[in-house]
Structure 1
Amino acid sequence: MLLIDHRGMAFSLDDRILAEADKATFNIPIDLGAADKAAGKVVPQIIMVITGPQDIQAAAFSAPTPAALLLPRILDEIDANRAEFSATAKYFRLGG
């Protein structure tokens, strides 16, 4: 599970998922920076979940990573494994 922020940086949310037998939940403390808050900015965010029969090694990262570098690596690994994966993304906005 990834968060992609308004600057195009990807953050792994895998360690925030609480998986149960029939559902999974997560909680992330996310807020605008002080300057963005003061300016009344509204910034786009994307949550992306990729599921499949095995872990994607390219998606195992700890430091924020540019999505423009990360997403092609994930896609290359999926293509190389020739397995069925699916992805879902949800757009939302912070601020306003």
Structure 2
Amino acid sequence: MLITVTRTGGFAGGERTASLETECRADGPELERLAELSLSAEGPAGQEPVPDGFRYVVRVDSKLVELQDPYLTDDQRQLIDSVLATAA
């Protein structure tokens, strides 16, 4: 499973993208679980953009979801943090 996260916004307004392939990773099954949960989680109704907040596009193979702070679930935050850490 290929997971790509693009983060935009924030105070500086920059963009950061990272991808990882879960196959052959020790944590692959956990990342795949988080990805499936992240794609299926419904965010709170009426999500208003937050000034200087981050926005995310999470692509899992051919599916994608658009998310934003502070409306992330714990699973979404863990997935995003794990993928972006690979680009550090």
- Name the TM-score, length of structure 1 as normaliser: 0.29
- Name the TM-score, length of structure 2 as normaliser: 0.31
The answer to which structure has the higher strand fraction is 1
